[in-house]
Amino acid sequence: MPSLLEAFQSQVGRKILTGITGVLLVFFIIFHLAGNLAIFGDPDAMNSYSYFLHQFGPLLWIARIGLLLIFVIHAWIGISIWLKKRKARPVDYKVYSSKGGPSKQSLSSRSMAFTGVVLLIFVVFHINTFALGDMGDAMLADGTVVHDVKTLVIDTFQNPLYAFGYTFVMILLGAHLGHGIWSAFTSLTLRSKKASAVIYSIGVIAAIFIAVGFLVIPLYIYFGGGCDAALIHCN
Amino acid sequence: MSDMTINLKIWRQKNTNDSGHFEDYILAGVNEHMSFLEMLDVLNEKLIKEGNDPVEFDYDCREGICGSCNMVINGKAHGPKHKTAACQLHMRTYSDGDTIVIEPPRAGAFPVIKDLVVDRTALDRIIEAGGYISVKTGAAPEANLIPVEQDVSNQAFDYATCIGCGACVAACPNSSASLFTASKLSHLNRLPQGRPERSKRTIAMVEQMEKEGFGDCSNYAECEAVCPVGISISSIAEMRREYMKAIF
Ligand code: HEM
Ligand code: SF4
Ligand code: FES
């Protein structure tokens, strides 16, 4: 009988961990998306949301550390699965193709490690830009002085490199989740033969919604929308 | 129907340590009613008559029940048809002038013995690791003494149809043996006779699968697509649930 620590390092244990961490990341990212969409709300919505989160103080730090841990475990297992597959098949096929039918091989499933690694690099970059970036102060309608994250976001996405770079990475996020959501259901054993096609479709639709939800923001701002939303003057 | 000429590109490897290479053959006189293996028989007769080494390939029953004939045909384990073992594939699937590439099922855990024949005892060792089921020795018990619900017995039988061919491993981008192992577990853990050792069996078989050098499962479901008897990846989900029950 393996200890729990050993059990979660077995092939089955690892898969369950990928699934759990994957689902937690999806929950996080939906939460994050909801926050981002505040840019379409009233002019103060985004900054007051950011202020609201910062009110949590130490709790926010606990959440951040937890999230980091989830991220690291997820990425670590994902990459190690990818590295192992080469060892498991030292001589590769000359000709290989999927047989279709129930197979879920697709550009999305075959590139999980690639899209994952891009996301990993992106997140470091992203935190550097928005969490650690230079922010001025803004005043909310009620007079509270807060970090002006909204202006930072709007300024950043005036740069086409940022606007289109972000859009591209969000498409990759969609690709990761296109297989990922269905896969997590299967990893966490929420599966039935009959519902498989339905679950797969739900996964793909959710992935598209999430990706589009994120990527409309840089595009909207780049093409001038942010200026109205921010009630500021853009070039 | 006139005979076909088929271009073959077949993996030849003298022994496990040989690095192997592809050899091209042009085979005339292939009839659409031949099975895929009969086509290879014709090739081998020709090779033997010419004084060359025949292509070694595995087979036994030639009717889809023994699982010996797993080979990868144009990149697909057991060839292009669903729920069809290589021995049940017929040349009518192909047309005159087609090129067919044949490779052994490739995985580190399946060392090539010769040409298309690989050593699949790793799968046997996974079964062995599963161990025994507790039954009383002596005279066979009355068959109806242990009631098994019809549904359960049907499902167990579905999983028991796994013929151990290893196509699931061959087709998996990660060379995972999850479908094979899971089908055995779903078969045995489901029946009352298999219940007492359920946890032990699940843990031992999962451990053995990794020890043999098979890769992780990424839920590609390619295994289900190539399985000649159509074992569902639901068994893999079940294996995970069983494993979680076993370790807590
Ligand atoms: C840090 C960068 C990331 C890396 C390196 C990464 C890598 C991977 C890899 C390689 C897999 C496939 C695992 C397998 O082959 O079985 C995977 C699965 C998955 N990923 Fe990621 N990923 C990352 C970020 C994310 C993010 C941000 C999310 C959510 C928004 C996410 C959600 C998922 C889900 C739901 C799965 C399916 C889990 C399963 O199959 O059980 N990943 N990830
Ligand atoms: S699960 Fe299917 S493909 Fe895998 S060994 Fe059994 S019969 Fe062959
Ligand atoms: S030779 Fe027995 S299954 Fe094909």
Residue A99 included in any domain: no
Question: Which of B114, B135, B160 represents a domain boundary (last residue)?
Answer: B114
The residue segments making up the domain with residue B173 are: 120-247
Residue B101 sits in the same domain as residue B196: no
Using the beta-carbon criterion (under 8 Å), do B213 and A87 form an inter-chain contact? Answer: yes
Residue B49 included in any domain: no
Over residues B154-169, the mean pLDDT reads 97
Q: Is B183 in the pocket of ligand 2 (CB under 6 A)?
A: yes
Percent of chain A with pLDDT over 70: 96
Report the CATH number that the domain containing residue B110 is assigned in CATH: 3.10.20.30
Q: Which two tokens stand for residue B197?
A: 């050792």
| B130 band by pLDDT with thresholds 50, 70 and 90 | very high
Residue B89 sits in the same domain as residue B136: no
Residue B178 sits in the same domain as residue B160: yes
Residue A231 confidence (pLDDT) above 80: no
C-beta atoms surrounding B194 within 10 Å: 18
Residue A175 included in any domain: yes
Of B22, B210, B234, the CB nearest to A192: B234
Residue B72 sits in the same domain as residue B12: yes
- Separation of alpha carbons B31 and B54, rounded Å: 20
| A195 band by pLDDT with thresholds 50, 70 and 90 | confident
Nearest CA to ligand 1 atom 8: A78
Residue B66 sits in the same domain as residue B150: no
Residue B159 sits in the same domain as residue B198: yes
Question: Which of B90, B114, B138 represents a domain boundary (last residue)?
Answer: B114
- Separation of alpha carbons B27 and B8, rounded Å: 7
Residue B207 sits in the same domain as residue B242: yes
Residue B140 included in any domain: yes
Percent of chain B with pLDDT over 90: 91
Residue B140: predicted pLDDT: 79
Residue B190 included in any domain: yes
Residue A228: predicted pLDDT: 61
Q: Summarize pLDDT for B3-47 with one digit per residue, the tens.
A: 999 999 999 999 999 999 999 999 999 999 999 999 999 999 999
Question: Which of B114, B134, B150 represents a domain boundary (last residue)?
Answer: B114
pTM comes to 0.93
Residue A232 confidence (pLDDT) above 80: no
Nearest atom in ligand 1 to the alpha carbon of residue A188 is: 41
Residue B139 sits in the same domain as residue B104: no
Residue B197 included in any domain: yes
Residue B239 sits in the same domain as residue B146: yes
Residue A169 included in any domain: yes
Q: Which chain B residue has its CA at the smallest distance from A195's CA?
A: B234
Of A13, A89, A182, the CB nearest to B175: A89
Residue A147 included in any domain: yes
| A163 band by pLDDT with thresholds 50, 70 and 90 | very high
B25 has which bridge partners? B8
Kindly provide the b/e burial profile for residues A69-106, where b requires at least 16 CB atoms within 10 angstroms of the residue's own CB. Answer: ebbebbbebbeebbebbeebbeeebeebebbeebbbbe
Report the CATH number that the domain containing residue A65 is assigned in CATH: 1.20.1300.10
Residue B82 sits in the same domain as residue B106: yes
Residue A235: predicted pLDDT: 44
Residue A11: predicted pLDDT: 96
Residue B116 confidence (pLDDT) above 70: yes
Q: Which chain A residues touch B217 with a CB distance below 8 Å?
A: 11, 15
- Separation of alpha carbons A77 and B222, rounded Å: 21
Find the ligand nearest to A24 CA: 1
Residue A233: predicted pLDDT: 47
| A234 band by pLDDT with thresholds 50, 70 and 90 | very low
Residue A93 included in any domain: no
Contacts with A184 (C-beta within 8 Å, 6 or more apart), sequence order: A18, A19, A22, A23, A26
Using the beta-carbon criterion (under 8 Å), do A85 and B222 form an inter-chain contact? Answer: no
Across chain B, mean pLDDT equals 95
Residue B132 sits in the same domain as residue B106: no
Q: Summarize pLDDT for A81-132 with one digit per residue, the tens.
A: 999 999 999 999 999 999 999 999 999 999 999 999 999 999 999 999 998 8
Q: Is A24 in the pocket of ligand 1 (CB under 6 A)?
A: no
Report the CATH number that the domain containing residue B186 is assigned in CATH: 1.10.1060.10
Residue B1: predicted pLDDT: 59
Using the beta-carbon criterion (under 8 Å), do A96 and B233 form an inter-chain contact? Answer: no
* Count of structural domains, chain A: 1
Residue A34: predicted pLDDT: 94
State the alpha helices, DSSP H only, in chain A: 4-7, 11-36, 45-54, 58-88, 107-110, 112-126, 149-156, 160-187, 196-222, 225-230
Using the beta-carbon criterion (under 8 Å), do B222 and A105 form an inter-chain contact? Answer: yes
Q: Chain A window 84-143: which residues touch B at a Cβ cutoff of 8 Å?
A: 84-85, 87-105, 109-110, 112
Q: Is A120 in the pocket of ligand 1 (CB under 6 A)?
A: yes
* Count of structural domains, chain B: 2
Q: Summarize pLDDT for A165-182 with one digit per residue, the tens.
A: 999 999 999 999 999 999
Nearest CA to ligand 1 atom 42: A22
Residue B185: predicted pLDDT: 97
Residue B224 included in any domain: yes
The residue segments making up the domain with residue A146 are: 6-88+106-231
Using the beta-carbon criterion (under 8 Å), do B219 and A109 form an inter-chain contact? Answer: yes
Q: Summarize pLDDT for A21-68 with one digit per residue, the tens.
A: 999 999 999 999 999 999 888 888 889 999 999 999 899 999 999 999
- Cα of B70 vs centre of ligand 3, distance in Å, is 8
Residue A96 included in any domain: no
